[in-house]
Amino acid sequence: MEYTWRWYGPQDPVSLDDIRQAGATGIVTALHEVPPGQVWTKELISERKQLIETHPDPSRSKLRWSVVESVPVTEAIKSGIQGRDQDIAVFQECIANLGAMGVHTLCYNFMPVLDWTRTDLDFLQPDGSTALRFDQTAFATFDLYILGRPGAENEYTEAEKKDAKAFADQLDDEAATLLQQNIIAGLPGSDKDYSLAEFQEVLDQYKSVDEHQLRENLRYFLEKVAPIAKNANVNLAIHPDDPPRPLLGLPRVVSTEADARALLDMVDEPCNGLTFCTGSYGARPDNDLVGMMQRLGDRIHFLHFRSVQRESESIIGSFYEANHLEGSANLVEVVKAAVKEEGKRRAEGIPSSIPMRPDHGHKMLDDLHKKTNPGYSAIGRLRGLAELRGVESACLR
């Protein structure tokens, strides 16, 4: 595997020099400053690439820009409204420019309105570190009582509504604001920052988009971008839904193995592939991660390794992010399967090293006293990468 690390650009409190010390050689980043729907020019890409790949001291370990995460897919593309063709043309141009500048793996997602979603960014662990958590009751409380989404009451069971009411009753204003911020103010890497009213407005754009329609919009998009990617020698790697299920009445279509298979079949070309995020897929008890790695392996272009602890075996249950080798995912077996996949590729004479990043990490040690990006503090990821490298080395013996 190629050890990579997500870096949010020059503003990231974790610097490129820090990343060198973590043992990563690949950088995963995006031009976060370019608003969605605008072209990433070759000049901008080249400038960022230089920043990553050259160091005033030539004896320093080399880094390369391995993966783009993410080029934003606009709401017009996902909802299929007017303007989508123009936005798809911009996406095509980004692909071509990235390929021309030597960045050959592109992660993106197709989640309507919300990117990854958590309700608690500081969930205390027994060892004193903190983790990210998605609590179904807190989420329902937001939906029913803070956002007050029309029709939401029909989407929860009586028991869920009762729990949400009890949760809402003990929330003070400060806690309610924090919950709202955690959900809609945009976690790092997502490109949105909504007020409640704006948020409801974007949700309304999806009134007539059901699961079937969203899948058709994904097909429409893929049929247009995959040929450009093939030409530019860029591998597309769609990130799964996080959490992997419909939210707030919005459909989601990249949540299960069947979803992944369907999208691979829409354009049956190697460049139309997956980001295998074990944290996102792993939040559902019906996703068999090792089996998915085995069955979908040849189309996996990027690995996000993280393990969530499911708090119930329901598809809509709560979960928190455990240490990488703990939790529900069994990453030791997944790493083993990834090492096997690489062996298969080597035997076929195709490039075999899959970029992998330790995804998220607990906030711990010195980072507890620092301002960090939720999930993306240095030390928790350092620990995750170290553990995962250890597992890989053992598998290679």
| Residues annotated as part of the active site | 239, 277, 304, 359-360, 376
8 A C-beta contact, residue 101 and residue 64? no
Q: Does 134 bind ligand DNO (CB under 6 A)?
A: no
230-269 residues in contact with ligand DNO (CB under 6 A) are 239
Q: Please, which residues have CB within 8 angstroms of residue 176's CB and are 6 or more apart in sequence?
A: 146
Kindly tell me which of 152 and 385 has the beta carbon lying closer to ligand DNO: 385
Q: Does 108 bind ligand DNO (CB under 6 A)?
A: yes
| Whole-number Å distance between alpha carbons of 118 and 120 | 6
Kindly tell me which of 144 and 322 has the beta carbon lying closer to ligand DNO: 322
148-187 residues in contact with ligand DNO (CB under 6 A) are none
* 3 state SS of 316: coil
CA dihedral 314, 191, 324, 141 (to 10 degrees): -30
Q: Does 69 bind ligand DNO (CB under 6 A)?
A: yes
309-348 residues in contact with ligand DNO (CB under 6 A) are none
Kindly tell me which of 106 and 138 has the beta carbon lying closer to ligand DNO: 106
Kindly tell me which of 321 and 387 has the beta carbon lying closer to ligand DNO: 321
Q: How many chain residues interact with ligand DNO (CB under 6 A)?
A: 12
Q: Does 221 bind ligand DNO (CB under 6 A)?
A: no
| Whole-number Å distance between alpha carbons of 101 and 49 | 8
In the complex, least distance from residue 347 CB atom to ligand DNO, rounded to whole angstroms? 31
Q: Please, which residues have CB within 8 angstroms of residue 59's CB and are 6 or more apart in sequence?
A: none
In the complex, least distance from residue 68 CB atom to ligand DNO, rounded to whole angstroms? 10
Kindly tell me which of 116 and 320 has the beta carbon lying closer to ligand DNO: 116
The neighbouring-strand residues paired with 14 are none
Residue 139 has φ and ψ, to the nearest 5°, of -65, -45
The 10 Å CB-count burial string (b at 16+, else e) for 75-85 is bbbbbbeeebe
Kindly tell me which of 152 and 331 has the beta carbon lying closer to ligand DNO: 331
| Whole-number Å distance between alpha carbons of 116 and 2 | 24
The neighbouring-strand residues paired with 357 are 304
Sign of the alpha-carbon dihedral angle for 4, 7, 13, 15: positive
The neighbouring-strand residues paired with 2 are 355
Kindly tell me which of 304 and 383 has the beta carbon lying closer to ligand DNO: 304
In the complex, least distance from residue 83 CB atom to ligand DNO, rounded to whole angstroms? 21
Q: Does 189 bind ligand DNO (CB under 6 A)?
A: yes
| Whole-number Å distance between alpha carbons of 182 and 118 | 6
In the complex, least distance from residue 188 CB atom to ligand DNO, rounded to whole angstroms? 7
Q: Does 278 bind ligand DNO (CB under 6 A)?
A: no
Please identify which residue in 4, 29, 109, 117 interacts with ligand DNO, judged by CB under 6 A: 109
Please identify which residue in 12, 87, 115, 120 interacts with ligand DNO, judged by CB under 6 A: 115
Please identify which residue in 5, 65, 116, 302 interacts with ligand DNO, judged by CB under 6 A: 116
Please identify which residue in 361, 375, 380, 384 interacts with ligand DNO, judged by CB under 6 A: 375
- Strand 355-358 to strand 300-305: parallel, antiparallel, or no bridges (unpaired)? parallel
Count, in order, helices (H) and strands (E) of the chain: 14, 12
The 10 Å CB-count burial string (b at 16+, else e) for 309-340 is bbeeeebbbbbbbbbbbebbbbbbebbbbbbe
Please identify which residue in 190, 278, 309, 328 interacts with ligand DNO, judged by CB under 6 A: 190
Kindly tell me which of 66 and 109 has the beta carbon lying closer to ligand DNO: 109
In the complex, least distance from residue 48 CB atom to ligand DNO, rounded to whole angstroms? 17
Q: Does 276 bind ligand DNO (CB under 6 A)?
A: no
In the complex, least distance from residue 107 CB atom to ligand DNO, rounded to whole angstroms? 5
Q: Please, which residues have CB within 8 angstroms of residue 205's CB and are 6 or more apart in sequence?
A: 75, 79, 81
Contact set with ligand DNO (CB under 6 A):
69-70, 107-109, 115-116, 189-190, 239, 304, 375
